[in-house]
Amino acid sequence: MLNLLLLFTFLMSAEMLIMQAMQRLEIAVSFFWLEVFLDATLIAFITVLIVRLFIKTNRLTIRHDLNSESVLLRAGLIALTVETMLMLIFPLIRVSATGFAVTLSDGVVFSLITTLLIHYLLLKPANLVPVNQRTLIDKILALRGFLLFCYLTSLSLFLLLLLNVYQQQQQSYITQAVAAEKPQLALIKNSLNDHISKAALDTLMLARQENLQDLLSGDPEARNRLTNDYLNLASIKPVYEQIRYLNAQGVEEIRVDQGSLEPIVISTENLQDKHHRYYFKDSLKLLAGQVYISPMDLNIEHNQIELPFKPIVRTASPVFDRQGNKQGLVIINLNASALFTQLKGDAKNTAGELMLLNEDGYWMFGRERDAAWAFMFPEYKDRTIEKYYPGIWQKIIGKDRGAFLSPYGYFIFDTIATGRATPEDPQHNKLAAELHWPEWKLISLASPNSLSKAYSNFLPPLAMFFVLTAMVTGVGTIMYFRIQRKNLISQQQIEQLAHHDVLTGLNNRNIFIQILELQLTQSRRTQEPLALLYMDLDQFKPINDRYGHEAGDYVLKQFAARLKQILRESDLLARLGGDEFAALLSSYGNKRQLEIIAERIISATEEPVSFRGQQLQVGISIGIALHFQGLPLESLLHEADQAMYKAKRMQSNSYCFAEAPEEHQNVQITS
């Protein structure tokens, strides 16, 4: 156990070092397969070196049926397969973890799986039957299991590879879609800025009108001319909800509103005092030639929000008389409903949900059902973006533009800075900061699925490609299995013909001699005696002559079957040729037990064999030779043969022991 823990530690350290090295290489995401190949190859090579070191230092004991070269090769393949799978699985698992945490997790999982597989497949003593001793069915089942394992493993690796390719391509497509969304937002921002800028220029123009100067100078006709100017401008630009001139006290002097059919002039008795409104107070601070842009809010008339909602942006510029004295303000109320109509049209060209928020995170466009204009109503002041998307506003408010992935999707945003001037005009920038001119956030919220919707059409063909590949490789694997199964059957048949008697199915003379030599060599090493029974059928030739060879073959088969029932499975039984048989017995016990076996064989042989209504009778002569220490190994078969002939000369159905040296006559062996 300690050595396995040490192996685990070595593998984990090596894997973490390799992972750190791969991260330093900074291989492009599109070449992830190269990183997988390098990582898996390196860790496989290092695993081979570590296992070799442990075997050389006797820290690991390999399985008895494997050699060191085979163990090293299999250990490398195990490490290669495990690391390849992990390298393909980890990118598919979206976890929010640091690079070190991912490296540590990969190192622990790889080392644990690899160590366990090496232990159970290469080191743990196996209760497996050696290949050369397996039956044909066992060999076929082992082949089928091995091919099925290879097929499923290869198919799994291929599937993981395809999933990684799909994910990388999908992520690349999303990145391109996000990048394409940014200029789309910039176009929308520029369009909104253009509308506001035009209103600001018109406001500045109205503040410098000669008719307005004439009005300030006391010209009685100037008011009518100025009113007509306002009516004409409102007719040309219906998005101008109101055009007003307010005196220095905040009282409306001239006001033109958009009516249901055409612009109308507000009568003197309906003019209002606006000195308490924020936009009047802020605009009055401006210098000549400057324009104030108000935050966007809903229009209020007589201290009530006008229905239906009218989103308004006000542009204002101070009015100075010819002597340079500030006399009031010119204000244009820009109806943002037209801007929102344009936003709705622009939203069709964006990949995500388009939203416009003020600098406090309140919706002005988007979420119309539950959160739009919430800042205008005291009871809904909590309905900011932070309520619906916690933690998002902090990432947006401090930057002019950008994009990031969140649990809610991709946020792509840009900033509409209405009061921001060029860097060459610091005074204007300072004034904009003091007056808190609005900055709006234009946001597109897109889910990964919506961004990759077009690319998702590639998934069905990819799945079809995988299915076809699985089918083709599966058919190929089945065909290969059938070919190998036929080869195993043919090999088994060849071995059967080479080593077994065709008629009785017993071992033939060649294999019997080979195994006899091996048994005698083992007997020499273990000093364990052997017994050899040499058997020959009596009165067999007359059966062939009288009843034919078919009857003789049937008698031989029946005799072989009776011998199998009498002898043990561990005993070696063979047909040496014709009507001669032999049996090699190890751990036979003592001489009396051999006599009992010989008597059982004689008794079984004396029973007649029924063949086509005829009772066929044969006899048997048995020669028994014992191998003792000190006797030449090559003489055992000869001694048994001579003992058999001796028994045949004595009488039919008898057995005889070969003579042994005098010092071995009374040897008793127990099993």
Tell me: the pLDDT tens digits for 311-365?
Answer: 999 999 999 999 999 999 999 999 988 888 888 888 888 888 899 999 899 999 9
Residues 433 and 527 in one domain: no
Residue 159 lies in a domain: no
Co-location of 510 and 430 in the same domain: no
Instruction: Indicate the residue among 85, 105, 128 that finishes a domain.
Output: 128
The tens digit of pLDDT for each residue in 196-224 reads: 889 999 999 999 999 999 999 999 899 99
If asked whether residues 540 and 660 sit together in one domain, one would say: yes
The answer to whether residues 512 and 437 belong to one domain is: no
In a domain, 146, yes or no: no
We report the CATH number of the domain holding residue 648 as: 3.30.70.270
Asked whether residue 633 carries a pLDDT value surpassing 50, the answer given is yes
Same domain membership, residue 194 and residue 81: no
| Residue 424 pLDDT greater than 50, yes or no | no
**Whether residue 540 sits in one domain with residue 428:** no
Res 423 pLDDT > 50: no
Q: Are 270 and 333 in the same domain?
A: yes
pLDDT of residue 666: 38
Is 472 inside any structural domain? no
Residue 605, pLDDT above cutoff 80 = yes
Q: How confident is the model at residue 95 (pLDDT cuts 50, 70, 90)?
A: low
Question: For residue range 237-274, what is the model confidence (pLDDT) as tens digits?
Answer: 999 999 999 999 999 999 999 988 899 999 999 999 99
Domain assignment of residue 554, yes or no: yes
Q: Decide which of 442 and 664 is more confident.
A: 442
Query: Per the residue annotation, which of 202, 297, 579, 641 is the catalytic one?
Result: 579
Mean pLDDT of 100-129: 80
Ramachandran region, residue 362 (left: φ > 0; alpha: ψ -120 to 50; beta: rest)? beta
pLDDT of residue 170: 77
- 447 & 524 share domain: no
**Residue 319 within any structural domain of the chain:** yes
Distance between CA atoms of 588 and 670, rounded to whole angstroms?
7
Q: One-letter amino acid identity for 177?
A: A
Residue 590: inside a domain, yes or no?
yes
Select the highest-mean-pLDDT range: 169-173, 399-403, 488-492.
399-403
Range of the domain at 579: 500-664
- pLDDT, mean of residues 374-390: 92
What is residue 668's predicted lDDT score, i.e. its pLDDT? 35
User: What is the C-alpha separation between 368 and 324, in angstroms, rounded?
Assistant: 46
The answer to whether the bond into 308 is cis (omega within 30° of 0) is yes
Q: How many domains does the chain have?
A: 3
For residue 421, is pLDDT > 60? no
* Residue 454: per-residue pLDDT: 60
**Residue 628: pLDDT above 80?**
no
* End position of a domain, from candidates 128, 160, 193: 128
The secondary structure of residue 546, as a DSSP letter, is H
Q: What is the pLDDT of residue 30?
A: 64
Q: Please check whether residue 169 lies inside any domain of the structure.
A: no
Instruction: Tell if the pTM clears 0.75, that is, is over it.
Output: no
Output the CA torsion 217→221→210→328 (10° steps).
60
**What is residue 372's DSSP assignment?**
B
CATH number at residue 296: 3.30.450.20
Assess contact for 411 and 154: CB atoms under 8 A. Answer: no
Q: Are 463 and 469 in contact, with CB atoms under 8 Å apart? A: no
pLDDT of 670 reads 30
Q: What is the dihedral of CA 641, 644, 648, 653, to 10 degrees?
A: -150
What does the pLDDT look like over 635-669, one tens digit per residue?
A: 788 888 899 999 988 888 899 998 764 444 433 33
Assess if residue 201 is contained within a domain. yes
The last residue of a domain, from among 414, 433, 451: 451
Same domain membership, residue 528 and residue 398: no
653, 506: one domain: yes
> Does 579 participate in catalysis according to the annotation?
yes
**What pLDDT is attached to residue 29?**
62
Segment 119-142 shows an average pLDDT of: 70
pLDDT category, 431, cuts 50, 70, 90? low
Query: 540 with 411, same domain?
Result: no
